[in-house]
Amino acid sequence: MRRFFSYGPINTKLHYYAPRKELIYNTYSRLMGENPGEGGHYITVWAPRQCGKTWVMQEVVQRIKQEKEYEVGIFTLEAAKNEKEEKGVLEVFINKMKEVFGKQFPIIKEIRDVPSLFTKKYFRKPVILIIDEFDALEEDFISSFAGIFRDIFISRTNEKDKQSKDKSNLLHGLALVGVRSVLGIENMRGSPFNVQRSLHVPNLNYDEVREMFNRYEKESGQEVKPEVIAEIYDEIRGQPGLTCWLGELLTETYNKEKEKTITLENFEDAYAAAVKVLPNNNIINIISKADKEPYKQMVLELFKTDRKIEFTYDNRILNYLYLNGVIDQEKENRVEYYVRFASPFVQKRLFNYFSHELFYNMGQLYDPFESLADTITDATLNIGNLVKLYETYLRKNREWLMQDVPRRKDLRIYEAIYHFNFYSFLNEFLKNRGGRVFPEFPTGNGKVDLIIRYAGRIYGIELKSYTNEWSYKEAIKQASKYGKQLKLTEIFLVFFVENIDEKNRKKYEADCTDEKTKVIVKPLFVATGN
C-alpha cells in the first residue's frame, strides 16, 4: 500500500501522486521543439519549493529515454551552491556530467569552454540536459552559464540546413529548473538567456487532490469524507508538498482508528497541529523568506484590511515573495490582478509566527484585583467588555509593547501589528479559562477574523481599520455576510483607529441588523493612540 509523501521527489510505486500528464507532455514538447528534427528548445522551469518540479522533470526524462534517439541527463547543482570560484562550480558540473552520461569529460577551467562538452567528440546523438536547482548558484555564475547556453542555441539555429543530430553542437534541448524564472527581475543587468521559454509548474487542482485521496480509499479501505478533501484543498490551495504532508498527518500520524471514516473532526485535529505545533521544512522555508528584509515589510503590509495591493511581476519584492511561495495572485476582473497569500494555511502560519515573535511576552493583562464578572463567567463571555479591557491594556502598556515593533518609513506602526497584539491578548486571556481563539482568513488578502470558542459557544470577531464612513458601512455589510456563513445571530466588528472621541464612539458603536441576513453586527472601536 502506498502512502502520502512530502520529503522530496515521489516514487509512484510507493507514494500517492497526481499523474499530471498534460503538464509532463507540455514540458516534453517544449524541450523537443515544434519540429524535433530541426532542434529543440531551451526552457526554464520554475515554481516554489516542493511543488513537484523535480518529479515532473524525472517523468519527462523517462519519456525521452523511451524514444532512444537522444542522450538525456538530469542532475542537480545544489552541491555547487557554496562555491565562490568558477573552478569549483565547474568541477561539480563536470562530475555530474560524468555521472549521468557515463562518459569521461575533460577538466575545463572556464564556463566559456562548456560548449565543447556537447560536441561529437563525446556524443553521437542529440543531447537533452536538465539542470535542477540551477538557481542555487551565485548570480554571476547563473549569468555566465545562461550566456553560454544562449550562444549554443544561436549557433545551432544558424545551421538551418542541418538536422539536429548533424549540427556542430548537439545540445538539442535544455531545461534550467529552480524556484524562480532564471535571470528575471532579480538580475538588474537584464537576461542574456532571452531565448528561453518559461514554464511554471502550477499547484494541484481540486480534481487532482481528490483523486489522490480516492486512491487512498481504494487501497486502504478507509473512507475519507468529501468535505475533508474540500477543506484540504481550500486551506492548502493544492500546493503539492503541503497537500501530501497534510495527507500524511490525516492518514498516518493522527489516524488512530483506521477502521473508521476520516471526518471533519479528524481534519480539525490534524490541521490544528499543522498550524500550531508541527515543524515542516516547506513552511519553515516560506516563513524564513517572509521574515527577511526588505520582504518582511511587504508581508506586514499584506495584512492590511482597508485595501488590496495590486500584483505586478515587475515589482522586485512581490516577485521574490511570489516565486518563494509566500504569496499568489488573484484576478479580480479582466484586467486587474491583486496580491493574496499563497493559501490560508500559509497566512495562518505567518500570523501565528509574527504574533509570537513580536508579543511572546504580554506582561500583565489587567490588575490582579480587578473584577472580571462583567466580562467572563463560567458560562458567558462579553466581547464588548473584553475589547474595552484590551483597549485599557493597550493604552497602559503601549510604550513598551510597541517600542521595537516594525514601522513604516513614516514611523507609523503597521496595522497588522495591532492585530497580532489583539490576538495574542485574547489567546493569553482565554487559554487558562478553557477558551480558544482561532485566526481565520476567508479572502486571503488581508481580511482577518478571529473565532472564539468558549463555554460551548462560538463568537466571531472581524478586524478592520477605520478609514471613513463609507468603508465603515461596507464593513458592516461584509461582517453580516460572514456572520451568516458562520451561522451566528450576531458578529462583532472591531475597528482600530488612532483616536475617537466619545461622541463618535457612541454614534458608530451602535448595533446594526442587516435586512438581508438578519445578522446583528456589533461595531466596537479600539483607540490605538498611534
Q: Are 126 and 213 in a shared domain?
A: no
Domain end point (choices 278, 304, 330): 278
Out of 242, 257, 278, pick the residue that ends a domain: 278
Residue 116: inside a domain = yes
pLDDT given at position 437: 93
CB 291 within 8 A of CB 349: no
pLDDT for the residue numbered 28: 96
Average pLDDT of every residue of the chain = 91
Residues 408, 384, single domain; the answer is yes
Q: What is the dihedral sign for C-alpha 364, 370, 374, 379? A: positive
* CATH, residue 66: 3.40.50.300
The pLDDT assigned to 275 comes to 92
Residues 407 and 510 in one domain: yes
Do 404 and 513 reside in the same domain of the chain? yes
Is there a domain that residue 339 lies in? no
Distance CA 520, CA 517 (A): 9
The reply to whether 461 falls in a domain is: yes
Using the predicted structure, report yes or no on whether residue 473 has a pLDDT greater than 70: yes
The stretch 289-313 carries a mean pLDDT of: 87
Give the model's confidence band at 196: pLDDT under 50 very low, under 70 low, under 90 confident, else very high: low
pLDDT interval class at 381 (50, 70, 90): very high
pLDDT over 90 at 271, yes or no: yes
Residues 6+ apart with CB under 8 A from 166: none
Q: What is the pLDDT of residue 444?
A: 62
Q: Does 457 share its domain with 521?
A: yes
Q: Are residues 179 and 36 in the same domain?
A: yes
The answer to whether the CB of 137 falls within 8 A of the CB of 77 is yes
pLDDT band for 377, please (50, 70, 90 cuts). very high
Determine, yes or no, domain membership for 292: no
Sign of the dihedral defined by the CA atoms of residues 53, 56, 61, 64, in that order: negative
Query: What's residue 192's pLDDT?
Result: 47
Do 105 and 154 lie in one domain? The reply is: yes
Tell me, what's the pLDDT at 101?
96
Whether 215 and 184 map to the same domain: the answer is: no
- Do 44 and 128 belong to one domain? yes
Angle between helices 53-67 and 21-32 (to 10 degrees): 60
Give the chain's domain count.
3
**Grid cell 480509499 in the structure block, residue:** 217
Does some domain include residue 125?
A: yes
Query: CA–CA distance from 476 to each of 152, 168, 309, 523 (Å)?
Result: 61, 70, 22, 8
Task: Tell me the whole-structure pTM to 2 decimals.
Answer: 0.88
Residue 373, domain member (yes or no): yes
> pLDDT (tens digit, 9 = 90+) per residue, 325-346?
999 888 888 888 899 999 999 9
Within this chain, do residues 432 and 504 fall inside the same structural domain, yes or no? yes
**For residues 270-281, average pLDDT:** 91
Boundary (domain end) residue, out of 278, 297, 325: 278
User: Does 231 lie in the same domain as 132?
Assistant: no
The DSSP secondary structure of 415-479, one letter per residue, reads HHHHHHHHHHHHHHHHHTTT-EEEEE-SSSSS-EEEEEEETTEEEEEEEEE---HHHHHHHHHHH
Q: Cis link prior to 240 (omega < 30° from 0)? A: no
Residue 327 lies in a domain: no
Q: How confident is the model at residue 442 (pLDDT cuts 50, 70, 90)?
A: low
User: What are the pLDDT digits (tens) for 130-165?
Assistant: 999 998 898 889 989 989 999 999 999 999 999 999
Structural domain for 260, as ranges: 206-278
Q: What percentage of the chain reaches a pLDDT higher than 70?
A: 95
User: pLDDT tens across 75-115, in order?
Assistant: 999 999 999 999 999 999 999 999 999 999 999 999 999 99
Ramachandran area for residue 73 (φ above 0: left; ψ -120 to 50: alpha; else beta): beta
pLDDT in tens, 167-190: 999 999 999 998 765 544 344 444
Residue 505, SS3 per DSSP: helix
What pLDDT score was predicted for residue 183? 45
Instruction: Tell me if 367 is assigned to some domain.
Output: yes
Q: Tell me the mean pLDDT in the region 41-63.
A: 91
Same domain, 48 and 167: yes
